[in-house]
Structure 1
């Protein structure tokens, strides 16, 4: 009985009719001839309500529902969630779906309302955009069913309590993998860069055939074999590409709900995948007070899964980053000349100058690309007109910060260090473009 009452919900229509009859009873105190009408109406309401309950609860199955979740969520992307509901009644029903979505979304008014015909099954879809990596717990799936009478609702709870992990943006990984190897580069802001020159490595010695470059004749092998032999070369491959993520406090700043750290994590996943597809070796590590989350650059099977799991488990207290420690670890552990994509953020020229000696030292042995971020909120603020002296003063300060970002690019260039100054939402595209440019120019 207790379970039955718990599943029984009176709808707004019921209370509207009930309070109308109550008002009629009050009026009948002054007009006695209305008292009989009010009694008839209240009995009629009770009979219809009983009949409504009978319609809904006579069928033990009622409505059936299931929530269909992906194996994992993609951070910063719209993730589709599906709810499938079927009607086992012999009449048309109205339904309300209340899904207990994870607490991270702070969505307290989630509801889907619809109707289902006799024996109909329907799928309802909605999307969630998570902005924090970690575990997302879904609660119960609640279905409220009403008959054509519509006075009460029957609540059915489907205990689909599930946990779904939220990983770095693997949806971006799939999208950019597709466009980086098709003709659709320009549609997504990617540039098709003409290759300048060649970076070659020795492949094998083979017999000379017409058309081979005579400059590649191997005279020692020719003397041994007594006919012309040439060295064959191929484009240099399997170069180490490391994504170096600053997990310090400068990466805590949020843009569109996503921290700079998570933008860097998403870009790392994409560029690692493209590097491996381009026959290079991809690796990564993070640093703040220490260097951690190290994945050595390789092109083995399962490398992308290792990188994905490592990126998912990155934790940080956003402490002050130690560039001296970064330089020491790179010098000790990375012996081969590599492309280092350093994701960090500098707001002022003074902030750069404090770390510049370490960046210069790293750039002596490796091709270093420093990637930092435009403050897009400052840009929006500068586009607004100023109406007071205070606003003019604030806009002047904002322009100074924007100018300093450009000065940082110039300062890095002066010391032979490549850089990317990008809006957070354009980070992945600009990083891919830089990688393709470096490959095309044979800079590594």
Structure 2
């Protein structure tokens, strides 16, 4: 601008050249200060694994090695799955001091996530030159089913507050092969349990007392068919089921039960035999990590055949699936009834929360009123399905995706408290 106005005011021409020289000297000073000596070091600290659908902490550590303070801009290349391209953090870096900050990421899919470069741009107060430093290239972290939710629900399950109202845990006298003690006979005891050797020694009738088996086989069965592809709040029904089965399996292991896992669609995708050892939880997590859904109809007849062949002992089967139409339920009901003859079957299926919201809306015209009527019909069908299961002796849990884990654990605790298995 000064050069422009110097066309009319000649004195500005000399002043413009002086300012150009001064600006050049300042630029060279800034350049030498940043590139002569010093530097910065930075690192990105990632957890060993990310928890799906939870906030995961990423920590950035930056150290200023210059002998003067700096301003900086941090641009972290976040994995492509997040589709986030506006990450920018501005920091002040004191002399020879370490600056730490963190941010959080919430993945919505399992799999491998790769971070790109950690770019640090530093500049002095002059702000004419920026120098870029690149660190932590191509760091990879795996996203596993929600182990954060698992730990939270583990704590809740051990708390008495989670017990359902009206339920009281009692020790039931059973007839399984888990021996408890020998006691004196009282009226009402089963005469078949009289211990004749102990009776001969005591000269009074003595009976064997047994208790229900504590270590019971429990299987989480996950339907990986197309019906589980439906998304709610960014997560598919399959991922909700995976997160829930991990939390549920952890609680069952804490209760000393044997836990297994089955996932299926057109065929059995994964099968883990029920086991009560602690490493079983890691095996379940690794199996859940690899479960994917396709666009196929699941074969419940094949599931029944595989359960009959490989799971010979009566077990608690927690089946995660979904039915949107009564006709779909009617097609699979014969297989579910067959499974329920050999095992205690609990079918866990989902409310359509978006449809439920529509039933609570206030229609403003005839078209909206018609949609609300259809939504009410779908909601009623879900309730009818739950009653249909109960009519055929099948336990049912109808829940929203967000409340799935708590609902499944509560159902398990209810079954344990009532001694149904």
Q: Give the TM bin, normalised by the shorter chain.
A: over 0.9
Between 31-40 and 281-290, report the one with greater CA deviation: 31-40
2:345: which partner in 1?
368
What is the CA deviation profile of residues 213-240 of structure 1, one whole-angstrom value per residue up to 9, with x for unaligned ones?
9948744122454566552433421111
CA–CA separation in structure 2 for the residues paired with 1:384 and 1:206: 61
Q: Which residue of 1 aligns with 2:274?
A: 297
Q: Does 1:419 align with 2:396?
A: yes
Aligned mates of 1:355, 1:275 — CA distance in 2: 28
Aligned partner of 1:398 among 375, 393, 411: 375
Looking at structure 2, the residues matched to 219 and 184 of structure 1 have their Cα atoms a distance apart, in angstroms, of 41
Q: Which moved more, 1:139-148 or 1:196-205?
A: 196-205
Aligned to 2:300, which of 304, 319, 323? 323
Alignment-derived partner of residue 253 in structure 2: 276
SS in 2 for 1:42: helix
Q: Which of 6, 27, 34 is the equivalent residue of 2:12? A: 34
Q: Deviations over 1:149-192 (max 9, x none)?
A: 22221100014321111111111111111221134538xxx768
Partner of 1:136: 113
Worse-superposed segment, 284-293 or 221-230:
221-230
Say which SS state the counterpart of residue 252 (structure 2) adopts. helix
Query: What's the TM-score once normalised by structure 1's chain length?
Result: 0.88
Q: Does residue 43 in structure 1 map to residue 21 in structure 2?
A: yes
Decide whether aligned partners of structure 1 residues 205 and 117 sit closer, same or farther in structure 2, where only a CA change above 3 A counts. closer
Change (3 A) 1:206 1:288: closer
Question: Following the alignment from structure 1 to structure 2, what is the Cα–Cα distance between the partners of residues 63 and 100?
Answer: 18
The answer on 1:220 being equivalent to 2:193 is no
Q: How many Å separate the matches in 1 of 2:288 and 2:187? A: 46
Distance 2:128 2:161 in 1: 56
Answer whether contact 2:172 2:211 (CA < 8 A) is retained. no
CA distance in 2, matches of 1:111, 1:339: 51
Query: In structure 2, what is the equivalent of residue 193 of structure 1?
Result: 167
Q: Kindly tell me: are residues 294 and 199 of structure 1, through their superposed partners in 2, closer, same or farther at Cα, counting changes over 3 Å?
A: farther
Q: Secondary structure at the match of 1:152?
A: coil
The 3 A distance-change label for structure 1 pair 420 and 403 is same
CA distance in 1, matches of 2:42, 2:180: 67
Contact 2:44/2:136 (<8 A) preserved: no
Deviations 1:358-379, CA, capped at 9 Å, x for gaps: 1111111111111111111122
Please, which moves more after superposition, 233-242 or 43-52? 233-242
**Of 67, 76, 88, which residue of structure 2 is paired with 1:99?**
76
- Normalised to the residue count of structure 2, the TM-score between the two structures is 0.93
For residues 310-363 of structure 1, the C-alpha deviation after alignment (integer angstroms, 9 at most, x for no partner) is 111113323111111111111122111111111001011111111111111111
Cα distance in 2 between the residues matched to 1:44 and 1:340: 80
Paired position in structure 2 for 1:261: 238
Instruction: Supply the distance in 2 between the matched residues of 1:262 and 1:39 (Cα, whole angstroms).
Output: 67
Q: Which segments of 5 or more consecutive residues in structure 1 lack a partner in the other structure?
A: 1-22
**Residues 67, 160 of structure 1: 8 Å contact kept:** no
Contact 1:247/1:318 (8 A) holds in 2: no
Cα distance in structure 2, aligned partners of 1:389 and 1:199 = 61
How many pairs align?
Answer: 417
Please, which moves more after superposition, 423-432 or 356-365? Answer: 356-365
Preserved CA contact (<8 Å) 1:238 1:281: yes
Contact 1:246 1:344 (8 Å CA) reproduced: yes
8 Å Cα contact 2:221/2:261 also seen in 1: yes
Give how far 1:287 is off. 1.2
SS of residue matched to 2:277: coil
1:82 maps onto 2:59 in alignment: yes
Task: Tell me if the contact between 1:202 and 1:232 (Cα under 8 Å) persists in the aligned partners.
Answer: no
Give the match for residue 264 of structure 2. 287
Q: For residues 237-259 of structure 1, what are the alpha-carbon distances to aligned partners after superposition, in whole Å with 9 as ceiling and x for unaligned? A: 11111111000000001111111
- Contact 1:203-1:232 at 8 Å conserved across structures: no
1:441 aligns with 2:418: yes
**CA 1:183 to 1:58, structure 2 compared with 1: closer, same or farther past 3 Å?**
farther
Q: Secondary structure at the match of 2:367?
A: helix
Partner of 2:2: 24
Computed over aligned residues only, the root mean square deviation of the Cα atoms, in angstroms, reads 2.2
Distance 2:180 2:41 in 1: 70
**Structure 2 residue aligned with 1:377:** 354
Deviation of residue 275 (structure 1)? 0.7
For the 8 Å contact 1:193–1:436, the answer to whether it is kept is no
Shift of 1:382: 3.2
Change (3 A) 1:207 1:348: closer
